[in-house]
């Protein structure tokens, strides 16, 4: 076996450990009552996420890759995300907190043993380059972000804390021009990329302008103050209907604070920070803001071209700053800070065309429906993404402050319903050349 394979094995083990540390932090921050509670009909009880993470690890790593005996075959049905809606999971005979912790630890022991024996350098596609392990690392980190969103919806005093994000030495504003022409979208070479990011393909994108930073709290407040929520001209028909039915007047978690606005973030209510990206807005609100500003949301292809296309070489980078994996000076990722950073706080993470903070801070709504790329093939299971393809979901790009570096890339695609705003969503605008 090569040292390269051994290095990969060490990296996989370290990533599994890092994900578990975060899961433990998120689930030990609250008491048993909070772990089993339904904090929102949109979210699972935290104790469900915990055991579900273990169950997926058991299904893929212990049983499939390892060919081992089941740890708990009897609970598969309880933790199958397609069998029970999030709002119904609290009523299921779930493992309690102690049982869930014991279960995930048992599974992890076996998964690490499977890793020790797995042939990462050859054989099954599922195992090659450690893909199945990478998929499980990303799955756990994705649920950690989901659990962080549940924390944001939990009532009561704060239990999470983190350092404030860095401040920019100069605030980034304005637009960048992205010249027209083809670029390579998606990937066929990134080892842990998921099926919906594949394959790499050429897309012709006409020239366009894109905001160099995400729309800020101050800019969004100006839209509200200008009566944006009361003027159907800026809203699509379904958007306006939703705005009326849901009684939307501002981003989730915002409240009036004298003449300004305050936001509640993980149990702390503070005045909004003007230069930070707005967060917790839905697709319809983002689209309405863009129309009011005389712009539009970028398409998914435009977003990815702005993030990855290098005009000097014509090739697409892994990340806006290059091919190097994210480090803390590139982007606000991984719950290092519990909020997005102000526009311009990560100059080292800018794209060649000077577009900032595409990775990290806030998930960015695009105008695109979620579809498979030409040549798409579901792998390793249809339920990862194919069953969600269609007009019901809009694509989000770039990850948030709550997304781990292992679970986001220049090609990474997230999707959600246009009315959703419990995830850490913001946006930037674009316009035709």
Give the H/E segment covering residue 413.
Answer: strand 413-416
Is 91 in a helix, a strand, or coil? helix
Residue 318 counted as an annotated binding residue: no
Report the DSSP pairing between strands 425-426 and 363-370.
parallel
Which tokens sit at 311?
């005009």
Decide: residue 386, CB within 10 A, 0-12 exposed, 13-18 middle, 19+ buried: middle
Please answer whether residues 255 and 392 qualify as being in contact, where contact means their C-beta atoms are separated by less than 8 angstroms: no
Q: 84 among the known binding-site residues?
A: no
- Judge residue 347's burial from the number of C-beta atoms within 10 Å of its C-beta, 0-12 exposed, 13-18 middle, 19 or more buried: middle
**How far is the C-alpha of 364 from the C-alpha of 419, rounded, in Å?**
14
Could you tell me the end-to-end alpha-carbon distance of the chain, in angstroms, rounded to an integer? 54
Task: Check the annotation: does 416 bind a ligand.
Answer: yes
Q: What share of the chain is helix, strand, coil (3-state, %, to 5)?
A: 40, 15, 50
**Was 420 annotated as part of a binding site?**
yes
Q: Is 87 annotated as a binding residue?
A: yes
Annotated ligand binding at 139? The verdict is yes
Is 52 labelled a binding residue? yes
Q: Which residue has the tokens 């996420």?
A: 49
DSSP assignment string, 333-389: -TTSSSSPPPTTS-GGG--TT-----SSSSEEEEEEEE-PPTT----S-TTTTGGG-
- 280 annotated ligand-binding residue: no
- CB count within 10 Å of CB 6 equals 12
Alpha carbons 333 and 425: distance in angstroms, whole number: 14
141: its two tokens: 């980190």
Among residues 427, 364, 430, 355, which one has the least CA distance to residue 398?
Answer: 364
HEC-encoded secondary structure of 270-314: EECCCCCECCCCCHHHHHHHHHHCCCECCCHHHHHHHHHECCCCC
- C-alpha 294/C-alpha 286 separation (Å) is 12
DSSP string, 29-72: SS-HHHHHS-S-TTS--HHHHHHHHHHHHIIIIIIIIT-PPPS-
88 assigned binding-site residue: yes
- Binding-site residue positions: 52, 86-89, 139, 143, 416, 420
- Annotated binding site for gamma-L-glutamyl-L-cysteine, which residues? 86-89, 416, 420
Residues tagged in the binding site annotation for Fe cation? 52, 139, 143
């Amino acid at each position: 076996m090569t040292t390269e394979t051994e290095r990969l094995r060490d990296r996989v083990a370290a990533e599994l450990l890092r994900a578990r540390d975060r899961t433990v932090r998120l689930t030990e921050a609250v008491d048993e009552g909070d772990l089993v509670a339904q904090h929102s009909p949109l979210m699972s009880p935290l104790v469900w996420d915990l055991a579900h993470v273990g169950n997926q690890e058991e299904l893929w790593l212990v049983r499939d890759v390892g060919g081992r005996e089941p740890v708990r075959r009897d609970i598969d049905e309880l933790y199958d995300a397609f069998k029970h809606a999030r709002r119904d999971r609290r009523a299921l005979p779930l493992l309690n907190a102690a049982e869930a912790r014991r279960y995930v630890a048992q599974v992890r022991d076996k998964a690490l043993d499977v890793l020790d024996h797995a042939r990462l350098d050859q054989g099954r596609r599922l195992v090659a380059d450690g893909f199945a392990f990478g998929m499980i690392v990303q799955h756990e980190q994705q649920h950690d972000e989901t659990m962080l969103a549940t924390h944001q919806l939990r009532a009561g005093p704060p239990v999470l804390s983190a350092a404030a994000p860095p401040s920019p030495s100069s605030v980034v504003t304005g637009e960048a021009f992205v010249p027209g022409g083809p670029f390579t979208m998606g990937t066929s070479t990134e080892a842990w990329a998921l099926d919906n990011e594949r394959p790499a393909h050429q897309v012709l994108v006409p020239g366009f302008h894109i905001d160099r930073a995400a729309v800020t709290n101050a800019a969004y407040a100006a839209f509200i103050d200008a009566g944006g929520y009361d003027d159907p001209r800026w809203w699509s028909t379904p958007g306006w209907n939703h705005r009326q039915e849901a009684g939307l007047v501002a981003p989730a978690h915002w409240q009036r604070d004298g003449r300004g606005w305050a936001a509640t973030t993980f149990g702390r209510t503070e005045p909004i920070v003007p230069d930070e990206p707005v967060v917790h807005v839905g697709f319809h609100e983002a689209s309405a803001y863009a129309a009011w500003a005389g712009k539009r949301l970028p398409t998914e292809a435009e977003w990815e071209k702005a993030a990855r296309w290098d005009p000097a070489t014509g090739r697409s980078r892994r990340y806006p700053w290059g091919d190097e994996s994210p480090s803390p000076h590139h982007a606000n990722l991984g719950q290092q800070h519990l909020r997005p950073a102000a526009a311009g706080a990560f100059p080292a993470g800018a794209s060649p065309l000077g577009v900032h903070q595409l990775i990290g801070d806030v998930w960015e709504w695009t105008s695109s429906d979620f579809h498979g790329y030409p040549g798409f093939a579901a792998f390793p299971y249809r339920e990862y993404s194919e069953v969600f393809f269609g007009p019901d979901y809009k694509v989000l790009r770039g990850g948030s402050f709550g997304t781990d570096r292992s679970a986001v890339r220049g090609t990474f695609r997230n999707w959600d319903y246009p009315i959703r705003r419990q995830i850490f969503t913001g946006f930037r605008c674009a316009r035709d050349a």
